[in-house]
């Protein structure tokens, strides 16, 4: 993870949700998993840039903030730390003639930090997209084998509601993963 709060995920998860969205009869879908974390700052060592936090169950953890953590000097005991981690997994068959160009692999990252003088906060978003082509379809066993740009092959099982006869060898399949981490510190 970019940023200076490396192991923040060891804080206790306050809440976790998982949602799956599909279009009946269409292959693929969207899976969204979100975990919310919280803790309270109990100690700050400005010289070592270490912050000790306690989660709602009373467990303490100490973290060292890297130099990229802007506004570290604004953190004080009693501050509340909140983090939301979201992972989205999207897969779909790209329609022939789609305006989006085919790509073997795309990876993008966006980082937004708090303005100077504000309490530290960060939003990090990583998006990866991989495409492949349907190499074979086994309608009897309800599987499709996808070949990726690097030559790797992977076989996927189709859901029972997907009509395997509506899809053909050579179709482009897109897999997109978006991971985001939002961390904020408030009084």
pLDDT recorded at residue 94: 85
Contact 39, 99 (CB under 8 A): no
pLDDT band at 6 (very low <50, low <70, confident <90, very high): very low
pLDDT band at 103 (very low <50, low <70, confident <90, very high): low
Place of tokens 């990090």: 124
d(CA 138, CA 164): 8
3-state secondary structure of 8: helix
pLDDT recorded at residue 2: 35
d(CA 108, CA 130): 12
Write the pLDDT tens digit of every residue in 120-163: 899 999 999 999 999 999 999 999 999 998 899 999 999 999 99
State the pairing for strand pair 143-148/121-138: antiparallel
User: Per-residue pLDDT for 11 more than 50?
Assistant: no
CB atoms within 10 A of CB 130: 20
Mean pLDDT of the chain: 87
pLDDT band at 166 (very low <50, low <70, confident <90, very high): confident
3-state secondary structure of 104: coil
Q: Which helix (H) or strand (E) holds 174?
A: strand 172-186
């Amino acid at each position: 993870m970019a940023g200076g709060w490396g192991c923040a995920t060891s804080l206790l998860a306050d809440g976790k949700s998982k949602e799956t969205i599909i279009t009946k009869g269409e292959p693929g879908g969207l899976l969204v998993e979100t975990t919310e974390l919280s803790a309270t700052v109990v100690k700050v060592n400005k010289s070592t840039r270490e912050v000790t936090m306690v989660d709602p169950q009373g467990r303490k953890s100490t973290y060292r903030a890297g130099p990229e953590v802007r506004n570290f000097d604004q953190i004080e005991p009693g501050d509340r730390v909140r983090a939301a981690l979201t992972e989205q997994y999207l897969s779909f068959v790209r329609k022939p003639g789609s305006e989006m160009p085919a790509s073997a692999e795309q990876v993008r990252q966006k980082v937004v930090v708090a303005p100077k003088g504000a309490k530290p906060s960060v939003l990090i978003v990583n998006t990866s997209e991989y495409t492949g082509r349907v190499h074979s379809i086994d309608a009897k066993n309800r599987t499709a084998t996808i070949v990726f740009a690097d030559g790797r092959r992977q076989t996927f099982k189709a859901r029972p509601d997907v009509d395997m006869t509506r899809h053909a060898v050579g179709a482009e399949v897109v897999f997109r993963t978006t991971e985001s981490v939002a961390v904020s510190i408030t009084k």
